[in-house]
Structure 1
Amino acid sequence: MTLLPEKLLTGYRNFMAHRYANETMRYKQLADQGQTPETLVVACCDSRSAPEIIFDTAPGEIFVVRNVANLVPPYAPDGEYHATSAALEFAVQSLKVKNIVVLGHGRCGGIKAALDTESQPLSPGDFIGKWMSLVGPAAEAVSANALMTPFERQTALERISIRYSLNNLRSFPCIDILEKKGRLSLHGAWFDISTGELWIMNPETGDFLRPDPEEVGAATLE
């Protein structure tokens, strides 16, 4: 009987022999004292865009919630099940994070599905279709632009959806209040899988800037 795929077991053995061995005390401290991350990252569940790898973080440094297309739904205290909203509530109210980053990425399957008006549901529940309807109006507008190539339309909606999510974050009363008090900062970023480039959203203009990897904090328009 196979308890886990061999690839995962091999990876775990490597983790114990190297990373855990080198950071044993850190893991023990996290276990004893709990986590105190300063940043929450809302990321896509795409296997190619793991925020812990992109930002090269140590255990306990960032709190991550991942879903299809890194979307944040609007505030809806309706008694239903809201996984992303629950994670936001815990990160902001319990962990008291100081930053929230919405991290999008290129070649996102969820965004591609939102733009494909002829796509069929993957199951009778059409969970992805319902979820991606959060950016439905933007998807329709972008899809209607015949002057853009399919790649340009996808990149545009990937970035627009980040702005949508940031607006939805501000619909949560606790987030809106803390941001206005200067105790919480919201950020948007877009990761290009093919080049490794990270584009950061200018909070004033909404434009995405590409920082020089050799100069942290410096950013210029392409």
Structure 2
Amino acid sequence: MDQAKPLPGYLVQRYHGWKATGYAENKAWYRRLASDGQHPRAMVISCCDSRVHVTSIFGADQGEFFIHRNIANLVPPYAPDGDHHGTSAAVEYAVTMLNVAHLIVLGHSSCGGVKGCIDMCQGHAPELEEKHSFIGRWMDILRPSYTLVAQENDPELQARALEKQSVLVSLENLMTFPFVRERVDEGLLTLHGLWTDIGEGGLEFFNPSDEAFRPV
């Protein structure tokens, strides 16, 4: 693999800084994590967006969260067709192998994936309509929900509404997985929908009693 190169210098420096401080000061904890295996209580499905820092939001340490990230924090419907399903595999592992008690879908403001879905639905992104567009075909998961926000004339409010729909779509699709539904019905697993405002540091949760997102 001739294309692989050494790490950039700034990352090497950061690693050695962490090894000399963060790791050195907690060496026993890291070795315990390595020997005892992982036992997270929750799985978090969040967006790949570099501005969304799940562990910082909740002040979590290593070993607390099983985290899966993808474009627009989407979960596809259950489809055991033999194709590659990275998100579905992560959900299966978390639920059936790690026995997590909570499954959290975390959406966020200014989501580029959601913006791409809006552009695609409005005919402004022909490149995403191509069959070979991985982004476009992934955003097809969210595309039907655009009809729920299409009448909103304010672009910012429309984007925010679809960002929250991406959370709800994922929650609905999670319930199509038999092993998820079984554990939910047995009271062994709870699903949670969250949305965070990056600029304001806000966090909202989906409240099923009034079918709206409310501040935490």
Same fold, judged at TM 0.5 (above): yes
Give the distance between the partners of 1:124 and 1:182, measured in 2 at CA: 41
- TM-score scaled to structure 2, two decimals? 0.92
Cα deviation 1:164-207 (Å, max 9, x = unaligned)? 10010000001001001110000010111111111111133331
Percent of pairs with identical residues:
43
Give the distance between the partners of 2:204 and 2:20, measured in 1 at CA: 35
1:5 to 8, 15, 40: 8
Letter in 2 for 1:156: A
Show the counterpart of 1:137.
Answer: 144
Show the counterpart of 1:196.
Answer: 201
Consecutive unaligned residues of structure 1, counting only runs of 5 or more, are: 212-222
Secondary structure at 1:76's aligned position in 2? coil
Give the distance between the partners of 1:88 and 1:2, measured in 2 at CA: 32
- TM-score scaled to structure 1, two decimals? 0.89
Give the distance between the partners of 1:87 and 1:94, measured in 2 at CA: 10
What is the Cα deviation at residue 22 of structure 1?
2.3
Give the distance between the partners of 1:148 and 1:209, measured in 2 at CA: 23
Letter in 2 for 1:121: E
After TM superposition, the structure 1 = structure 2 runs for residues 13-162 of structure 1, keeping only pairs within 5 Å, are 13-116=16-119, 117=122, 118-121=124-127, 125-142=132-149, 144-145=150-151, 147-162=152-167
Show the counterpart of 1:174.
Answer: 179
Secondary structure at 2:99's aligned position in 1? coil
Secondary structure at 1:194's aligned position in 2? coil
Give the RMSD, CA atoms, in angstroms. Answer: 1.6
Count of aligned pairs between the two proteins? 209
What is the Cα deviation at residue 124 of structure 1?
6.8
Consecutive unaligned residues of structure 2, counting only runs of 5 or more, are: none
Give the distance between the partners of 1:139 and 1:126, measured in 2 at CA: 19
Cα 1:124/1:169, change in 2 over 3 Å: closer
Letter in 2 for 1:71: L
What is the Cα deviation at residue 129 of structure 1?
0.5
Runs of 4+ in 1 over 3 A off after TM superposition: none
Give the distance between the partners of 2:5 and 2:98, measured in 1 at CA: 37
